[in-house]
């Protein structure tokens, strides 16, 4: 279902124009309006899901197949040196638009971008405890 109050539903379904790189029955891939690098794109499912938690499994798997197709094009046409896939869920994780999307960020040597986290420390006991919490 698409939501009338969701900008990405409107874009994905063609009700609002976008720079579309790829489209099929389930997805539209568009250029991000505030690109981190040249070619920064967003994979949008046409059906509304707020985030990964709400996303149907078949859309989740299909999205990665779309990423692979578009990544090949980016590599061939933009000659990028690398590519980040970034996918934010929830405000705490930096999500600003509550319609699932995957960022495709082509990377170029010396592009000056940073897509990073601060590495933490770990102990055997700490890792074991969190493993048990998640899997138990
Ligand atoms: P996130 O912070 O992961 O929710 O990413 C939202 C992304 O959507 C940002 O990179 C925005 O620049 C981008 N964005 C927001 N509105 C539009 C729009 N109308 N068309 C294209 N990109 C958009
Ligand atoms: Zn939506």
Torsions phi, psi for 27 (to 5 deg)? -140, 155
Total-model pTM: 0.97
Work out the burial of residue 107: count CB atoms within 10 Å of its CB; fewer than 13 is exposed, 13-18 middle, 19 or more buried.
middle
Ligand that lies nearest to the alpha carbon of residue 31, given by its number in the listed order: 1
For 36-67, write each residue's pLDDT tens digit.
999 999 999 999 999 999 999 999 999 999 99
For 76-110, write each residue's pLDDT tens digit.
999 999 999 999 999 999 999 999 999 999 999 99
Of ligand 1's atoms, which has the minimum distance to the CA of residue 36? 10
pLDDT of residue 2: 80
Q: Name the residue of 5, 10, 37, 42 whose CB sits within 8 Å of the most ligand 1 atoms, as the mutation to test its pocket.
A: 42
Which helix (H) or strand (E) element contains residue 45? strand 41-45
What is the 3-class SS of 67-136, one letter each residue?
HHHHHHHHHHHHCCCEEEEECCCCHHHCCCCCCCCEEEEEECCCCCCCCCCCCCCCCHHHHHHHHHHHHC
């590519």: which residue's tokens?
83
Q: Is the CB of 118 under 6 A from ligand 1?
A: no
Query: Which of 48, 99, 101, 103 is flagged as catalytic?
Result: 101
Of ligand 1's atoms, which has the minimum distance to the CA of residue 16? 19
Q: What angle do CA 31, 36, 40 make, to 5 degrees?
A: 25
For 1-32, write each residue's pLDDT tens digit.
788 899 999 999 999 999 999 999 999 999 99
**101 catalytic per annotation:** yes
pLDDT of residue 99: 98
Task: Tell me the CA–centroid distance for residue 33 and ligand 1, in Å.
Answer: 7
pLDDT of residue 11: 98
How is residue 73 written in tokens?
A: 């094009």
Averaged pLDDT score across all residues of the chain: 97
Ligand that lies nearest to the alpha carbon of residue 88, given by its number in the listed order: 1
């Amino acid at each position: 279902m698409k939501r009338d109050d969701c900008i990405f539903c409107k874009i994905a379904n063609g009700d609002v124009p976008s720079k579309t790189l790829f489209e099929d029955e389930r997805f539209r891939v568009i250029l991000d309006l505030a690109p981190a690098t040249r070619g920064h794109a967003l994979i949008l499912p046409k059906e509304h899901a707020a985030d990964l938690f709400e996303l149907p499994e078949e859309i989740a798997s299909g999205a990665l197949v779309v990423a692979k197709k578009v990544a090949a094009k980016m590599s061939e046409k933009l000659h990028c040196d690398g590519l980040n896939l970034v996918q934010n869920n929830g405000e705490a994780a930096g999500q600003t638009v509550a319609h699932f999307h995957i960022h495709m960020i082509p990377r170029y040597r010396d592009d000056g971008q940073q897509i990073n986290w601060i590495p933490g420390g770990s102990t055997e006991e700490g890792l074991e405890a969190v493993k048990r919490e998640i899997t138990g």
